[in-house]
Amino acid sequence: EVQLVESGGGLVQPGGSLRLSCAASGFTFSSYWMSWVRQAPGKGLEWVANIKQDGSDKYYMDSVKGRFTISRDNAKNSLYLQINSLRAEDTAVYYCARAKWLDYWGQGTLVTVSS
Amino acid sequence: QTVVTQEPSLTVSPGGTVTLTCASNTGAVTSGYYPNWFQQKPGQVPRALIYSTSNKYSWTPARFSGSLLGGKGVLTLSGVQPEDEAEYYCLIYSGGASWVFGGGTKLTVL
């Protein structure tokens, strides 16, 4: 059974940083692109970033370029999202999802940016 | 910057058929945009329904189908069930290995 479990969310002040993690199991993690998607409270889905199987290629939505960094550790079956210079508009549930197609999703982790 | 547009809301009667569309401001949505469709019910995690225009997952009910029509990605629900009431999102490839979601369509079954 494919499982994705996010962690690392929380309350952070504007300008702060967080590192989100996603633990994957039930599939060959190193064989798949992986993605992050977010959803602000009461709003729609927003594609954030994705990363190639070996980590050599990474892509981001425009508004997070330079502030967010996606990475992975295939030995640990884990995906990460380092988020810096946080803004109020980054408040959202952050989901990790498998592949470019986003076929499987985790339960999400809530990031709240507030002073 | 790619903007993807969906109908904000649609209403359908049980047993009826409804079509949801996905348009891009950059031009016609073609197979090269690899349109995907997702369903999200209140308080739940999104669930993938369709990938790459028309391909279904093992869990996708047969009444859901994807296609292209008139320069848009299309999700058709035939024989709508009450449990199909949900928000539906399309996702398309916008180039440069980036993807963009549409704003979502709230489907009411009434």
pLDDT tens, residue by residue, B14-39: 999 999 999 999 999 999 999 999 99
pLDDT at B1: 85
pLDDT at B97: 77
Q: Which residues contact residue B32 at a Cβ distance below 8 angstroms, ignoring those fewer than 6 apart?
A: B93
pLDDT at B41: 98
Tens of pLDDT, residue by residue over A21-70, are 999 999 999 999 999 999 999 999 999 999 999 999 999 999 999 999 99
Tens of pLDDT, residue by residue over A69-84, are 999 999 999 999 999 9
Q: Residue A88 class from Cβ within 10 Å (0-12 exposed, 13-18 middle, 19+ buried)? A: exposed
Q: How confident is the model at residue B107 (pLDDT cuts 50, 70, 90)?
A: very high
**Do B37 and B49 meet the contact criterion of CB atoms below 8 Å apart?**
yes
**Do A30 and A38 meet the contact criterion of CB atoms below 8 Å apart?**
no
pLDDT at B95: 81
pLDDT at A86: 96
Query: Looking at the complex, does the CB of residue A94 fall below 8 Å from at least one CB of chain B?
Result: no
Query: Looking at the complex, does the CB of residue A40 fall below 8 Å from at least one CB of chain B?
Result: no
pLDDT at A100: 87
pLDDT at A110: 98
CA distance A69 to B73: 31
Are B96 and A59 a contacting pair at CB < 8 A?
yes
Are A103 and B97 a contacting pair at CB < 8 A?
no
Chains A–B, number of C-beta pairs less than 8 Å apart: 57
CA angle B22, B52, B2 (to 5 degrees): 45
CB atoms within 10 A of CB B56: 16
A3: closest CA among A20, A24, A31? A24
Mean of the pLDDT values across residues A3-10? Answer: 98
The alpha-carbon gap from A101 to the nearest alpha carbon of chain B, in Å, equals 6
CA angle A98, B2, A63 (to 5 degrees): 70
The answer, yes or no, to whether residue B96 has pLDDT greater than 80, is no
Residues of B in contact with A3 (CB under 8 A): none
